[in-house]
Amino acid sequence: SNPRLKESSCVPVVFTTRVSPPAVVCPVPSTDDMTSPPATPRAGSAGSPAAPPPASPSAAAPAPVAPGAWGTGQSRSVVIAGGVALWFVPFLVSCFLILPTGEMVVSEAIFKSIMHVVAGGVASVLFVRVKMTTARAGAIVGGIWAGINVLLDLLVLVPLMATKGGAALTMDGYLAQLPSYFLGVALNYAVGPLTGWLSGASYERGVASCAKKTK
């Protein structure tokens, strides 16, 4: 007869071929009964904590400007082209205010005011587009632009002044116009390096202010 087993949750197995105590096989718990650690909820699913909001663009540090020519954000050719544009646009406007005979359509005071406004507007746009990253870079570019304007004036404007009234262009007539040109026109270009320095200094101060806010 089978040996008597105590009441248990185990199932008795009797071997009749050998005389030995019955082996007891315990039921193996199924994998469904096993406890597993709770799954971590994915971000955005129900019951999961909300993801942190993205950083505000205003709080981010300003993107650095790629280094260009003379410490600006543009190439050397763009900087030089800006100096040429600074001379050409006011010169083009003046062609509509001066007759071929040399007489002005408006008074000399109004003519000078118009030229100052046009040149100042073009310079303001160029200083923003070229991006003077430092005060030193602004002063250098302003000086380069002033030099380009003086050079083009010596090649174009001074000969026109020397031939005013239909006179022939001579070396004596050209040299005679130089004092009035440098005192009346070229001296105004001295504001170029100063304006460039102020533009670069303003950019530096703005970057430093944004860097302090992001800390």
**Mean per-residue pLDDT, 160-173:** 88
Residue 171, pLDDT above cutoff 50: yes
Residues 160, 169: Cα–Cα separation, whole Å = 9
Who contacts 207 (Cβ-Cβ below 8 Å, separation ≥6)?
62
Nearest in space to 152 (alpha carbons), one of 85, 74, 75, 69: 85
Dihedral sign for Cα atoms in the order 60, 61, 64, 70? positive
DSSP H stretches of helix in 96-131: 108-130
Residue 133, pLDDT above cutoff 70: yes
The mean predicted confidence, pLDDT, of the chain is 77
Pairing of strands 11-13, 23-25: antiparallel
**Mean per-residue pLDDT, 135-149:** 93
Q: Which long-range contacts (CB under 8 A, 24 or more apart) does 167-173 make?
A: none
Residues 99, 80: Cα–Cα separation, whole Å = 30
Residue 160, pLDDT above cutoff 70: yes
- The pLDDT of residue 189 is 92
Instruction: Tell me the whole-structure pTM to 2 decimals.
Output: 0.65
